[in-house]
A and B are shown apart, each in its own frame.
Chain A
Amino acid sequence: MRRARTGRARRPRSFYSTSVVRVLFFVPATVLLIILVVYPVLQTLALSFLGPGSGAFVGLDNYGNVLGSTETIDLRDTQFPLGTLIDNLLWIAIHLPMTLFTGLFLALTLQKVRGASIVKSMVFLGMVTPLIVGGIILRYLFDEKSGIVPQLFGALGVKSLAIQWTQYPSTLLFGLIFGSVWLWTGFSLIIYSAGLTTIPKDYFEAAQIDGASSWQMFRKITWPLLRPITLVVVTMTVLWELKIFDIVYAATNPNGGVGNAADVLALQMWRYAFRAGNYAEAAVVATLLTGLTLLVASFMFHRMVVGMRGGGKRPSLLARVLRIVRRRP
């Protein structure tokens, strides 16, 4: 009785001082986030609805202008340029499966290889390289005389590909997409490698006793159990593909290369804003790009929400992976 009362009597002061301290934990991060992230994002959104010169509300006019422009979508014929939006989608359509399956295949193969960590580091080097340097390297790679790719095709007798890839609209975009596979595969390799270590060995042993082939084991055990990892790789890779900027800028020019063949949304936005000074349409491109990235991220976001609601029943995948990574010296 006595104890309860003193407890109650002491509580208010400590409760409020605790609350103040606890609020202070959030203050610096909140201030920076609001001033330099949230507010500018909302401002860009607002800009996209205002007239370029007048600043008056013009509804969706800017969106109409941008989406109607051949710079964004150019499907009048099947020739390059196809427009920034189509280029980004092409990037996803080609780059995503290539980098995902190459990384998965390598991760599976390297399980049985000595010195696997060295090979992984070699592949991962592309992820560490500044993308602006990556773009420069790609430019050299596809150089007619001193580039290894055209020279290789020349030696193989494929005349049509023994050219300066970056100087022809028909090869430029594909060259950069294939080149970005080289730069980004390290990501899916590392993430899949970590994911593979979370699958208990006895699953495979049991399957082997039952006489399952390696392909059956992959189809029935590995691939289904890696699904959450695949979701992560797909999300992160698509986000990366949508945000492509440096590679194209460095490998070509600020116009997306010869005939604008490799133009992408991020580059288009930069050009509108900082070359043409057209903030309204730059804001439209940025908003469209953000819409796409949020759409992609929402899949993972949804999983996080579900995970939070389910909260704490089983150790999270992160916890499991971290435990395994930590065990390694």
Chain B
Amino acid sequence: MKRWSLARLRIRPRTVAIHAFAWGLGFLWLLPFLGVLMTAVRPVGEILHGWWVFDPFNPTAKNFVTAWTDPSTPMWRGIRNSFIVAIPSTAIPIFIASFAAYGFARFRFPIRDYLFLTIVLFMAVPQQMVAVPIFLRMIEAGLLDNFLGVILLHSSWAIPWILLFMRNFFQTLPVEVEEAARVDGASDLRIFLKIVLPMALPALAAVAVLQFMWVWNDFFFATVLLYSPQNLVATQLVPLLSVAGPYQRDQAVLSAASMIVMIVPVAIFALLQRYYIRGMIGWTIKG
């Protein structure tokens, strides 16, 4: 009785074509990642003529182990260092910039808007514009090749965009709640910490996801400030693995290392996609 047909489901050929096209394009976009994955899980000998040749196909975790435990530049240390840098570099600027952002959103003072716009303009400045003075000052401060130096730099660098994002968010909050609290005698600090920040948690999560990922993926600042093998972050190890050491030109190990570096941001994106996208949109679009 139950006879399925396209006509019965009212699926038009045009709809099928659009779906095939869109999904096909999605898979096309995924293809290079699939290539890295396939290269990483196979012995290097099997992929000399392309990862899409599955004869022979002997999946192995050996490349991951090699990359993870490499004697000179092990990925475990890179990943550990990346976490050491990225976690404080996310928490510090969010805390600091939120205070200032609240001030810009609610307090009235002369030149407020001009000052705000000037700070926001620093969002467009490339990292190269501060590299040399930062490098020289960090030597003087004894913070070169030191995680604290990188953390401070990332924290400061993030302030303009977090400031913009959080100020825009605070402005969308209803001011009546804060005014009611003020009438009841609550101080600015109390209002901010007890009322405004809890309301801002979704926005703070969005900022945190975005900022963590940027710091994790950063290569330039790390290259300028960190140089000892034991201090290198994960992104620094990838190009290092590709040019030096006993595994030179070993695509399989390098692919495994790339996968290891990628896994953290990809996992965060998969788990916290909502916040990431919201952050991305809130950061860029404003009326």
Q: Which residues of A contact B180 (CB under 8 A)?
A: none
Q: Which 7 A-B pairs have the closest CB atoms?
A: A316-B287, A297-B124, A36-B156, A40-B133, A40-B130, A119-B26, A29-B100
Known: A129-B266, A136-B242, A322-B281. 13 other contacts (CB 8 A): A44-B131, A115-B23, A125-B29, A128-B268, A129-B262, A148-B52, A232-B285, A239-B124, A249-B239, A253-B243, A270-B128, A285-B128, A322-B282
Compute how far the CA of A33 lies from the CA of B120 in the bound complex, rounded to whole angstroms. 11
* Residue B144, interface by CB 8 Å: no
Q: Does A16 contact B (CB under 8 A)?
A: no
In the bound complex, how far is the Cα of B168 from the Cα of A40, in angstroms? Answer: 27
Does B19 have its Cβ within 8 Å of any Cβ on chain A?
yes
Flag if B107 contacts A25 (CB, 8 Å). Answer: yes
Closest A residue to B192 by beta carbon equals A25
B19 to A: closest C-beta gap in Å: 6
* B18 touching A140, Cβ below 8 Å: no
Contact between chains at B287 and A307 (CB < 8 Å)? yes
Give the one of A116, A128, A290 with max B CB within 10 A: A128
Partner among A112, A148, A316, A322 whose Cβ is within 8 Å of the Cβ of B50 = A148
A138 and B238 CA atoms in complex are apart in Å by 14
Q: Chain A CB within 10 Å — which of B32, B96, B172, B242 has the most?
A: B32
B258-287 CB contacts (< 8 Å) to partner A: 258, 261-262, 265-266, 268-270, 273-274, 276-278, 280-282, 284-287
Show 16 residue pairs from A and B whose CB-CB distance is below 8 angstroms, ordered by the A residue: A18-B187, A18-B188, A41-B125, A44-B130, A113-B19, A121-B270, A128-B265, A133-B238, A140-B36, A182-B32, A190-B280, A250-B242, A304-B286, A320-B287, A321-B281, A321-B285
- The yes or no answer to B132 lying at the interface (CB within 8 A) is yes
Which chain A residue has the least Cβ–Cβ distance from B50? A146
A37/B156 in contact, CB under 8 A: yes
Cross-chain contact B25 with A140 (CB below 8 angstroms) = no
Q: Would A249 and B48 count as touching, CB distance under 8 A?
A: no
CB distance from B125 to the nearest CB of A (A): 6
Give chain B residues whose Cβ lies under 8 Å from the Cβ of A116. Answer: 22
Report the bound CA distance from A279 to B274 in whole Å: 43
**Given the interface contacts A28-B99, A146-B49, does A119 sit within 8 Å of B25 by beta carbon?**
yes
- Would you call A318 an interface residue if the criterion is a C-beta within 8 Å of the partner chain's C-beta atoms? yes
A131→B239 CA distance, assembly (Å) = 11
* A293 touching B125, Cβ below 8 Å: yes
At the interface, yes or no: B200 with Cβ under 8 Å from chain A?
no
- When distances are taken between beta carbons in the complex, the residues of chain B under 8 Å from A250 are 238-239, 242
State the main secondary structure of chain A at its contact with B. Answer: helix
Whether B107 pairs with A287 at a CB distance below 8 angstroms is no
Query: Does A35 belong to the interface (CB within 8 Å)?
Result: yes
Interchain CA distance A296-B123 in the complex, whole Å? 12
Q: Which of A108-126 contact B (CB under 8 A)?
A: 109-110, 112-116, 118-119, 121-126
Q: Does B129 contact A (CB under 8 A)?
A: yes
Is B88 part of the binding interface, using a Cβ–Cβ cutoff of 8 Å?
no
CB neighbours of B179 from chain A (8 A): none
Q: With A148-B35, A270-B128 known to touch, is A122 a contact of B26 (CB < 8 Å)?
A: yes
B181 at the interface (CB under 8 A from A): no
Find residues 258-309 in chain A having any chain B CB closer than 8 Å to their own CB.
265-266, 269-270, 273-274, 279, 282-283, 285-287, 289-290, 293-294, 296-297, 301, 304-305, 307-308
**Nearest residue, chain A, Cβ from B152:** A36
Quick check: which of A60-68, A71-79, A205-213, A240-248 contacts chain B, the rest being far away? A240-248
| B126 x A293 contact (CB < 8 A) | yes
- Asked if B75 is at the interface (CB within 8 A of a chain A CB), the reply is no
Asked if A249 and B188 sit within 8 Å, CB to CB, the answer is no
Bound Cα distance A39, B287 (Å): 31
B interface residues (Cβ-Cβ under 8 A, vs A): 15, 18-19, 21-23, 25-27, 29-33, 35-36, 39, 47-52, 93, 96-97, 99-100, 102-103, 107, 109, 113, 117, 119-135, 137, 152-153, 155-157, 159-160, 163, 168, 172, 187-189, 192, 202, 213, 216-217, 219-220, 223-224, 234-235, 238-239, 242-243, 251, 254-255, 258, 261-262, 265-266, 268-270, 273-274, 276-278, 280-282, 284-287
A227 at the interface (CB under 8 A from B): no
B119, A316: Cβ atoms under 8 Å?
Answer: no
B-side contacts of A35, CB under 8 Å = 156
Contacts of A30 in B (CB 8 A): 100
CB distance from A321 to the nearest CB of B (A): 6
Q: Are B26 and A118 in contact (CB under 8 A)?
A: yes
> A130 at the A/B interface (Cβ < 8 Å)?
yes
B31 — which chain A residues lie within 8 A by C-beta? 148
Task: Quote the shortest CB–CB distance from A47 to chain B (angstroms).
Answer: 7
B residues in contact with A139, CB < 8 Å = 242
Contact B128 A289 (CB under 8 A): yes
Bound CA span A114–B21, Å: 12
Residue in contact with A122 in the complex, picked from B27, B49, B262, CB distance below 8 Å: B27
Given contacts A44-B132, A270-B128, contact A33 B238 (CB under 8 A): no
User: Are A130 and B22 in touch, CB under 8 angstroms?
Assistant: no
